[in-house]
Amino acid sequence: MSLEEVEPNFFTLSPDSPLRETIQRAYRWYSPRFSPCDVPRFADVGSITEEWSVMRGIRDFLVARYRNLPEPPTHIMGFDARGFLLGPMISVELGVPFVLMRKAGKNPGILIESEPYEKEYKEKKAEAMTIRCGSIGKGSRVVLVDDVLATGGTALSGLQLVEASGATTIEFVAILGIKSLKGAQLSHSYGNGRFSKIPFFALVDESVLTEANCGDTAGYNGPRIIGYREALSRI
């Protein structure tokens, strides 16, 4: 499948790619009224995981991509929490470890912590990512995995953790890259360009999130969250 370089070292699947079409058919987004965050189009990773054949298409494509590299990855590292949905299915096929990057306070052991980062939607306070010391090290060749690349704060935290472990990031990969938020540029311009050579790869960009992909329930005026007892009473 052919790729397009949308800006230096930032790639997507080309518009005629069958996998891009498959992802577009499944992907749903929600407006702020129906989503947990105040972003214009909240991309629902559940709409991807609920389509097993789309997941399989993503897995097969990424496994072939990394297996065929002259120097394949030694580790897949996923971002808390949605990177955990994609990383293991790739690492199991490649026969390499899957390493969990977890938000501060969640990982056991001695940890390396990234600088604090912000996301497209702001949490109450800035977050940081951690990995356990020794989970990767000198000579490790790491692929970083997430569902969405938006402003790129999260991706940058992963690059910092790999660098601070003495390892190498061979690629950051996500299903969706919101090009207009310039997430790849944040990492590529960080720290005098120390990460400028690291490829970013988003399978699709925000152009797949068309009006037809909106998951909002038209005309619904009720509460977004229905409690257990209320839901029971409605069955």
Residue ranges that bind ligand HSX, judged by CB under 6 A: 79, 82, 119-120, 146-155, 183
Q: What is the radius of gyration, based on Cα positions, of the chain?
A: 18
- Pattern 21-60, ligand ADE, x by CB under 6 A: ------------------x-xxx-----------------
Least Å distance between CB 54 and ligand ADE? 16
Structure tokens at 233: 């009473």
CB nearer ligand HSX, residue 120 or residue 205: 120
Using the contact rule CB under 6 A, the part of the chain among 56-64, 115-123, 128-136, 219-227 near ligand ADE is: 115-123
Strands (E) across the chain are located at: 3-7, 10-13, 28-30, 42-44, 75-79, 98-103, 111-113, 129-132, 141-149, 168-177, 200-205
Pick from 161, 143, 13: nearest CA to 83: 143
CB nearer ligand HSX, residue 22 or residue 185: 185
Cβ burial 43-58 (10 Å sphere, 16+ → b, else e): bbbebbeebeebbebb
CB nearer ligand ADE, residue 114 or residue 165: 114
CB nearer ligand ADE, residue 34 or residue 121: 121
Residues near ligand ADE (CB under 6 A): 39, 41-43, 119-121, 148, 150
